[in-house]
DNA sequence: TTTTAGCACTCTAAGACCGAGAGTGCTAAC
DNA sequence: GTTAGCACTCTCGGTCTTAGAGTGCTAAAA
């Protein structure tokens, strides 16, 4: 079952070469490009066995080999050698994230673009998921008779709002009274646990006629629920057309169609994010760390119990229509100390995993840092934000 | 220069056929599909002349003809026969727009999707441009010490907000005082005319220490300026890959790359929107109107002075890199009585202009109606929103 | 037992070739 | 001004062929 050392080396070489050239790799080419001290015939024998074991595939009898999902999986789990991010590139990334406006959405937009630019693939970043965040404040602001703005403040300084209609007869004072009642009753509750009933019972003691009150409460409730509205930022989808696997227009179309169902992808990312293993102790300074990745246990004997901070789905492992020719590397970012949202890179299965993994980890860390500042978790360090 | 009647008919037939089949159209095919009472040789002669005059092109000697930009232009300006929107379809569109949430962005999102779905091409809708809107209110809400929410209310009920940092020492009352001062000073001004100086002078009479005040004012100013932030909604970009002109992956890529520069496109849309002619008297009921389009003067003698409510840019007329194989139909929508934003459809030059024009006009009207309600321009008609 | 050289075999990709078909332009007759 | 006829052109889709890359197998070498 387990591969001996030489097979691993060969598998790694095949995957590396295939990633680079996009051509099925043959035994001769392999020895030409790598310093194996055996003949091509030996390599052939080994490759035949790797194929038998399911790590490689044969497009047709007389062509070179191509990695299977299983081959990629093995590569990613234990063969892959992380790549250092050159300091200038690291600086550029950090600079780009740091010079953003003081807003979460702007930061996320930038992260999305940086992630795609630096990997060369399609990037996806979800806005923070707030279902499990606590409600801190709720304010209602009269805009004009009949219309009000509901402002919902969550922990970690996330603010959402929503314009609503209310009965004309409600006046500003009443509105504030209702908001204050709701806030008193619900403050500290998780968004998930708030229902129309809890809202209503929180505001029971106000002095406003029931029928009018109900409508206001309903709108407040919707606004609260609306607060964990998930959005998807995406960049670089057209980059995919540059890769030979998408030279077939139908494949390309299938891919882009799949991407256009972004809510579906977002749901999937949240789902697989749930069972994401604990992040490794990320060192906060965001320095370029060549020992960053993780699942290297097998090949490099560093199985010290750390789990990877990222997940890789390869080909058929992606449970989304139209993306089974792709690979999907995901991770999550934090606001303060809690996992807030997910981000990922989609590329061809023949993806430069080492590069993507280094970059997504680096950007995740940089994003965490920045998020920490923006969300005001450590407001004590007052910084240059003009 | 001007085409005689038969040449017009032939040009129209060529364009129609080419739009339908995507194949260069030859003289024989033309008489087979249309009831011209002349022989193919005559058609050939006429087509040769049309080519000489620049309306048609010849991919190679022995193939049929294809319209040139000039040919399409002539078709759009004077030959095109609008298509009625079937009542069921009209109903579906209206229903889809009407069942949106009570928010402008949701409405725009839906309009984008409906526009793409119903035309089969890529749709673009810009959020309202508010540079020329008047400021109505500005509120500042303390979220926690050091952080505040600035809420900017514009005419027509558009509300924008922004989370900002303020000096820790500012308290809630002071914040409200500043906001009230700004509101009093600036209410009624156009966004465009508000500068840091006007903001500062409006708030001169407050009782807060200058250095602190300045920072608050700066943030308020940024929030106000931020309010006319333009966003672009797009849908159906992958539909383009289904059309034969984009079977070449490089063309497809060029197109998608061009689309990804959405801010550029938005700027262009605003620009060409400026010199857009006055909308024709749109009848408000949004009924399906077969006399909707416009530039039919030449062929149908209805040049009654009405100008088209839409603009068509064909091929090279589009001053955007990467879109010169496309056509771009744009129009604008209104909030209340003023032009607010722009929308458009991008497709291959070989686009079903009649269909696109009917739909974009119809959707524009439906959007105007809906916008009117959402923006609260006629709040008197209280409608069924739960 | 493992490795390697040699060789026959397979399959693809690319180029050459060919014929059918569609369309044209031109000429001469109507 | 229109049309029939015809020679000519160009593309598109097949079929064939060949070069090249790669394999698997066998038998010899290490």
| Mean pLDDT across B202-220 | 85
Distance B64 CA to C15 C1' (A): 28
State yes or no: pLDDT of A362 exceeds 90. Answer: yes
Instruction: Indicate the range of A96-105, A211-220, A297-306 predicted with least confidence.
Output: A297-306
Note the pLDDT of residue B184.
Answer: 92
Mean pLDDT of chain B: 85
Is the C-beta of residue B211 closer than 7 Å to nucleic acid chain C?
A: no
Which of A114-118, B222-226, B302-306, B344-348 has the lowest average pLDDT?
B302-306
Among residues of chain B, what percentage have pLDDT more than 90? 59
* pLDDT exceeds 50 at position A221: yes
Q: What CA–CA distance (Å, rounded) separates A50 from A10?
A: 9
pLDDT recorded at residue B129? 86
Backbone angles phi, psi at A200, to 5 degrees: -65, -40
Bases of chain D with protein Cβ within 7 A: 2-5, 8-11, 20-26
Q: What is the pLDDT of residues B36-75, one digit of tens each?
A: 889 999 999 999 999 999 999 998 888 999 999 999 999 9
Asked whether A7 and A49 are in contact (CB, 8 A), the reply is yes
Q: What is the pLDDT of residues A72-96, one digit of tens each?
A: 999 999 999 888 899 999 999 999 9
Work out whether the CA dihedral B204, B206, B210, B211 comes out positive or negative.
negative
Q: Which two tokens stand for residue B72?
A: 């399409």
Protein residue closest via CA to C1' of D8: B62
Coil, helix or strand for A348? Answer: strand
Residues 17-46 of B with CB under 7 A from strand C: 23-29, 40-41, 44
User: Which of left, alpha, beta for B54 (phi over 0: left; psi -120 to 50: alpha)?
Assistant: left
First and final CA of chain A: distance in angstroms?
59
Question: H or E stretch including B119?
Answer: helix B104-119
Residues of chain A neighbouring B218 (CB-CB closer than 8 A): 386
What pLDDT score does B191 carry? Answer: 92
Structural contact between residues A14 and A25, judged by C-beta atoms closer than 8 angstroms: yes
pLDDT score of A307 more than 60:
no
Query: Which is higher by pLDDT, A254 or B207?
Result: A254
Q: What's the pLDDT at B210?
A: 83
| pLDDT confidence of residue A129 | 86
Of A146, A242, A257, the CB nearest to B238: A257
Read off the pLDDT of each residue in A225-250 and give the average, rounded to a whole number: 91
Test A143 with B159 for CB contact under 8 angstroms. Answer: yes
Query: Cα–Cα distance between A105 and A111 in angstroms, integer?
Result: 10
Chain A nearest C-alpha distance from B241 (Å): 6
Given this model, what pLDDT does residue A308 score? 54
A-chain residues within 8 Å CB-CB of B151?
141, 149, 151, 161
- Least confident window among A39-43, A380-384, B174-178: A380-384
Q: Does A201 touch chain B (CB under 8 A)?
A: no
At residue A327, what are phi and psi to the nearest 5 degrees? -125, 155
* pLDDT for the residue numbered B275: 64
Whole-number Å distance, CA B332 to C1' C12?
54
Tokens standing for residue A279: 């992040």
pLDDT at B62: 86
In which band, very low, low, confident or very high, does the pLDDT at B281 lie, cut at 50, 70 and 90?
A: very low
CB contact under 8 A, A162 and B242: no
Point out the least confidently predicted range of A373-382, B84-93, B173-182: A373-382
Q: In the prediction, which pLDDT does B280 show?
A: 40
Structure confidence by residue, pLDDT tens digits, B119-146: 999 999 999 888 888 999 999 988 888 8
pLDDT at A200 over 70: yes
Q: Among A31-45, A50-64, B95-109, B256-270, which is the least confidently predicted range?
A: B95-109
Q: Do A376 and B238 touch (CB under 8 A)?
A: no
Q: What is the pLDDT of residue A306?
A: 43
- Using 50, 70 and 90 to split pLDDT, how confident is the model at A291? very low
- Asked whether the predicted pLDDT for residue A256 surpasses 70, the reply is yes
Contacts of A147 in chain B (CB under 8 A): 157, 376, 379
Exposed/middle/buried for residue B58 (C-beta within 10 Å: 0-12, 13-18, 19+): middle
Does residue A25 carry a pLDDT above 50? yes
Using pLDDT thresholds of 50, 70 and 90, give the confidence band for residue A1. low
> CA B282 to CA B292: how far, in whole Å?
9
Q: Count the neighbouring beta carbons within 10 Å of the beta carbon of residue B248.
A: 11
Tell me the pLDDT tens digit for each residue of A177-193.
899 999 999 999 999 99
Long-range Cβ contact pairs of A150-155 (< 8 A, separation 24 or more): A150/A179, A150/A219, A150/A220, A150/A223, A150/A224, A151/B141, A151/B149, A151/B151, A151/B161, A152/A223, A152/A224, A152/A227, A153/B143, A154/A130, A154/A191, A154/A227
Intra-chain end-to-end CA distance of chain B, in Å: 61
Per-residue model confidence as pLDDT tens digits over A167-177: 998 888 889 98
List, as one string, the DSSP characters of B324-370: TTEEEEEEEEEETTEEEEEEEEEEESS--HHHHHHHHHHHHHHHHHH
In this complex, the nucleotide whose C1' atom is nearest to the CA atom of residue B40 is D3
Q: Is the pLDDT of residue A384 over 50?
A: no
What is the arithmetic mean of pLDDT over A210-236? 90
Note whether B151 contacts A146, CB cutoff 8 Å: no
A113 touches chain B (CB under 8 A): no
Residue A43, Cβ density class (10 Å: 0-12 exposed, 13-18 middle, ≥19 buried) = buried
- In this predicted structure, the answer to whether residue A109 has a pLDDT above a threshold of 70 is yes
Q: What are phi and psi of A316, to 5 degrees?
A: -60, -15
Its pTM stands at: 0.87
């Amino acid at each position: 079952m387990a591969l001996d050392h030489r097979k691993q080396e060969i598998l790694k070489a095949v995957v590396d070469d295939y990633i680079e050239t996009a051509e099925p790799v043959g035994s001769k080419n392999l020895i030409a490009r790598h310093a194996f001290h055996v003949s091509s015939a030996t390599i052939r024998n080994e490759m035949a066995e790797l194929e038998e074991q399911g790590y490689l595939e044969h497009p047709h009898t007389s062509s070179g080999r191509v990695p299977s999902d299983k081959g990629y999986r093995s590569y990613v789990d234990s063969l892959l050698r992380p790549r250092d991010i050159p300091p200038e590139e690291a600086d550029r990334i950090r600079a780009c994230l740091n010079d953003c406006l003081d807003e979460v959405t702007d930061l996320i937009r930038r992260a999305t673009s940086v992630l795609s630019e630096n990997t060369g693939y399609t990037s996806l970043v979800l806005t923070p998921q707030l279902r499990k965040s606590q409600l801190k404040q709720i304010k209602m602001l009269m805009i004009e008779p009949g219309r009000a703005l509901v402002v919902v403040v969550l922990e970690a300084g996330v603010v959402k709002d929503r314009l609503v209609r209310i009965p004309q007869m409600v006046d500003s004072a009443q509105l504030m009274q209702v908001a204050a009642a709701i806030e008193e009753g619900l403050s500290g509750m998780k968004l998930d646990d708030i229902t129309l009933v809890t809202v209503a019972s929180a505001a029971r003691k106000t002095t406003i006629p029931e029928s009018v009150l109900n409508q206001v409460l309903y709108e407040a409730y919707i606004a609260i629920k609306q607060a964990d509205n998930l959005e998807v930022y995406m960049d670089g989808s057209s980059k995919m057309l540059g890769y030979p696997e998408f030279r077939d227009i139908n494949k390309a179309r299938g891919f882009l169609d799949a991407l256009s169902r972004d809510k579906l992808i977002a749901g999937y990312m949240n789902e697989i994010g749930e069972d994401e293993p604990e992040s490794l102790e990320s060192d906060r300074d965001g320095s370029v760390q060549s020992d960053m990745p993780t699942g290297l246990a097998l090949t490099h004997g560093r199985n010290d119990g750390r789990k990877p901070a990222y997940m890789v789905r390869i080909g058929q492992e992606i449970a989304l229509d139209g993306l089974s020719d792709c690979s999907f590397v995901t991770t999550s970012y934090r606001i303060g100390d809690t996992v807030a949202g997910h981000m990922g890179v989609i590329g061809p299965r023949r993806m430069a995993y080492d590069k993507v993994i280094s970059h997504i980890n680096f950007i995740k860390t940089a994003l965490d840092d920045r998020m920490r500042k923006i969300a005001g978790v450590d407001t004590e360090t007052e910084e240059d934000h003009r």
